[in-house]
Structure 1
């Protein structure tokens, strides 16, 4: 297997703005194919999808999306490293990259303690587990000749995982973060690695309704220590986490309003050092999310 990733080419392939959708994990396969094809047609370069115990397995989900498209890059945001051993992850990524013309990007992460212990795994040392996992991946072999190593990025929020992403992967995928975190992450990882934050958006101009939608989204993440510890380092406190999140916190994490207001937030991430921003429209159905992506495309794809 080749051991070089062209970082300039990786940035070009990812594009400046992509899409992050968790809803596809629970959507019928036929509709998933249609949605991926429409996202490609709209001009978004990369589609990110997550992995949860109740949703689709990350690698087969990626194959479903890749098979439905011709240019779209597909990235896992993230594939849980406790869900498969490192040789399976390395060979799965190589299979997808080889079969679909290097359109697959492997996003790996340690997930969260409740999701890992429920699978019967020990979550006492996730950073060390990730370090050992990457080492085992690097020792894996793959039979088919590859033009390049499938690129990988790590889900990372705080210093040590960001530093590991810079040393042992092609960069970092950050989630549930404001542009201030993007600037901090860029300072930590340096200029060479890719930095790809997720940005949740609400296409709604009424503040009360927009923040209601945003708080529904934020509820899960504000219950997980990985996210609250990171937010504390950015200056948020218990008062911000109470009652579904303060307006200050909600507005920092989720941007709402007209397309141009949303585009300004995407530009803020880019100005802070992001190479690629994956936009997650918050809505109650895939159909509505696609409607919002259509509305946002003219502003976002020039942001």
Structure 2
């Protein structure tokens, strides 16, 4: 699934309008020693983007973080995942009602049904976007592991306990390579509009005061690593020590859809050993 402990999660690799730059950035990430590439899905031809990035690189694994089960037919997903070959791993998620609208139903039941379809079609390994204990348990019993997004270290510790020792745990970690809590807060604030993330944070002990104003300092600091290279490396180490097998960093500094290549270069020596 990955070649090491630290990868890169990037919207820009998927959505950059300069596709040549995106391909070059993917190739550079491989040369820098990152262990995997992760790209998101909000509909559209995510598999086309996967094909493009795999063709631009030699051996680095590529994963979807995540493919939205409401936006893709299971038969198509099984067929196109298989066609991408061994370097590709499918990450699946049930998304949010605010994103999907009226079609949205109980996420756990929807994911079970989707996995049933994939099993009949003979799909390969998959990871599940999992926050709550029930989805983490489903990740243990029906998948190769879990891919939590926007979670503090304490969640990683609890997720490992639920998954047990033999399932993969790949944690997304937002990072700001600057002494800029405001940038970190702006990132967190958008997700506090989504009930699934808020419910997960409540389970971890955060309350209404933490969700006001874009997030309390304590909440923002727990969710996003900000500061210099060592501050970011320290958070990645904490996630790994808490039970993650792999941490995919998401650099939060892109002004538009341009890959943050300078930040990836600067962080790499502190993360990749």
Q: Quickly name the TM-score band, shorter chain normalised.
A: over 0.9
Alignment length, in residue pairs? 271
1:124 deviates by: 2.5
The question of whether the paired residues in 2 share the 8 Å contact of 1:104 and 1:150 is answered with no
Q: Identify unmatched segments of 5+ residues in structure 2.
A: none
Residue of structure 1 in register with 2:262 after alignment: 291
The question of whether the paired residues in 2 share the 8 Å contact of 1:155 and 1:172 is answered with yes
Using structure 2 for the length normalisation, give the TM-score: 0.95
CA distance in 1, matches of 2:136, 2:263: 31
Aligned pairs (5 A) from 1:1-303: 10=1, 13-28=2-17, 29-53=19-43, 56-97=44-85, 102-117=86-101, 121=103, 123-140=104-121, 150-205=124-179, 210-285=180-255, 289-302=260-273
**Per-residue CA distance 1:73-97 (angstroms, 9 max, x = gap):** 1110000011112111111111112
CA distance in 2, matches of 1:288, 1:57: 19
> Secondary structure in 2 aligned to 1:108?
strand
The RMSD of aligned alpha carbons is 1.4
The question of whether the paired residues in 1 share the 8 Å contact of 2:172 and 2:250 is answered with yes
Q: Identify unmatched segments of 5+ residues in structure 1.
A: 1-9, 142-148
Structure 1: 4+ residue segments shifted above 6 A: none
The question of whether the paired residues in 2 share the 8 Å contact of 1:45 and 1:73 is answered with yes
Using structure 1 for the length normalisation, give the TM-score: 0.86
CA distance in 2, matches of 1:288, 1:201: 14
The question of whether the paired residues in 1 share the 8 Å contact of 2:184 and 2:252 is answered with yes
1:115 deviates by: 1.4
The question of whether the paired residues in 2 share the 8 Å contact of 1:79 and 1:109 is answered with yes
